[in-house]
Amino acid sequence: MCGITGMLNYDQSPINKDILLNMNDAMTLRGPDDSGHYIDNNFGMAMRRLSIIDLAGGHQPISNEDGTIHVILNGEIYNYIELRKNLEKKGHQFTTHSDTEVLVHLYEEYGTDSVHHLNGMFAFAIWDSPRKRVWIVRDRLGIKPLVYFESSHGFVFASDLIALARHPDFKTDIDMDSLLLFFTLAYIPTPRTIWNNAKKLPPGHWILIENNHLRIEKYWELLPKIQTNCDK
């Protein structure tokens, strides 16, 4: 199952490691086998791992060859073997057999267009250190969860609301409209959550934050196909 979390401080203040690890530990049940984290001044990411592929070598976060691109993944990339072969032909060097490592090299090669090459269920975050850019992606059907909140201080994301609630800037004020929707529909529609200041990233969308500017973009949707030539 796994769980990912991270934060970006807009004011350039260093990440508080204790807060980051506390958020990560809140998701131990999602990933009991392993944990890891990475901090680059005002950005930090962490993950809890349920080991499935490359049990010994799949420790996350995983970086590219020169340690400038870093990734955490909750999910599975089904076509990672084919992607890896193509990337190796282009000169990319791999150090693990994990499907996660494919993401950093795919991002190096194609940037944000890399999502169109992926077949799988996933929520992942990539930190591009030279650009000071964070890119967070949720799979096409929203199989893997991704929630977030934004304050004047910065941006925080996680696989689980309980992890967000461990951040000191998070306010646990119930969204009464979401509560009413839950009683009416038996679920809370995206992008709402039960909390006022937390949102769900919609399926088939990604978040890009660069220069403290947050942008959400849809990269996929299921379009209806209308049959115009009917047999008589």
Active site residues: 2
Structure-block tokens of residue 113: 């267009």
In contact, 68 and 32? CB cutoff 8 Å:
no
Please give the DSSP secondary-structure letter assigned to residue 192.
Answer: -
Identify which of 44, 199, 29, 226 has the alpha carbon closest to the alpha carbon of residue 134.
44
**Mutual angle of helices 80-89 and 99-110, in 10-degree steps:** 50
Strand partners for 148:
157, 199
Structure-block tokens of residue 89: 């032909």
In contact, 200 and 157? CB cutoff 8 Å:
no
Question: What does R_g of the chain's alpha carbons equal in angstroms?
Answer: 18
Say how far residue 209 (Cα) sits from the centre of its chain: 13
